Amino acid sequence: MKAVKWVVMLLLMVLLIVFLFQNYEAFLSATTLELRLPALPPLTSRPIPLYGLILGSVFGGGLMTALYLGLGNFRLRRTLRSVQRQNGSLQEELKSLRNLPITEAGVPTSQPAETVGN
């Protein structure tokens, strides 16, 4: 199973290299970004190579994903600490109740059920 993963990764890397060699000039071509809002003049960027735009997008997406997952992990850790504290206090309460002597004087007895009719 491990060998299959390596073969697939190697195949993908070869395909990526072939793709990059075939489209070498397109990746080096400059691209300008433009933002048009109705009330403002258009905002344009400096010319950016296409490979820079792609790499920036990949790294930006990775950073946003890491932040999102990190915040979720932070929330889970906070909840876990709260539940662990609650569990500790309940364990202490259980230990204190286990050490109480068993007496029947403090235990309420149930009343017999009332019958209606006969």
Q: Which residues pair with 102 in a beta bridge?
A: none
* pLDDT at res. 113: 62
Among residues 49, 45, 57, which one has the least CA distance to residue 24? 49
* pLDDT at res. 77: 94
* pLDDT at res. 116: 67
CA distance 30 to 48: 5
pTM over 0.85: no
Q: Could you report the average pLDDT of every consecutive run of 10 residues in the chain (118 residues)?
A: 90 92 88 89 90 92 94 92 95 84 62 64
**What tokens does 21 get?**
């060699």
**What tokens does 61 get?**
């997406």
Among residues 108, 89, 86, 85, which one has the least CA distance to residue 97? 89
CA distance 14 to 81: 47
Q: Return the C-alpha torsion angle 96, 102, 104, 110, nearest 10.
A: 60
* pLDDT at res. 65: 95
* pLDDT at res. 111: 63
Task: From residue 20, give the alpha-carbon distance in Å to each of 14, 26, 49, 100.
Answer: 10, 9, 14, 76
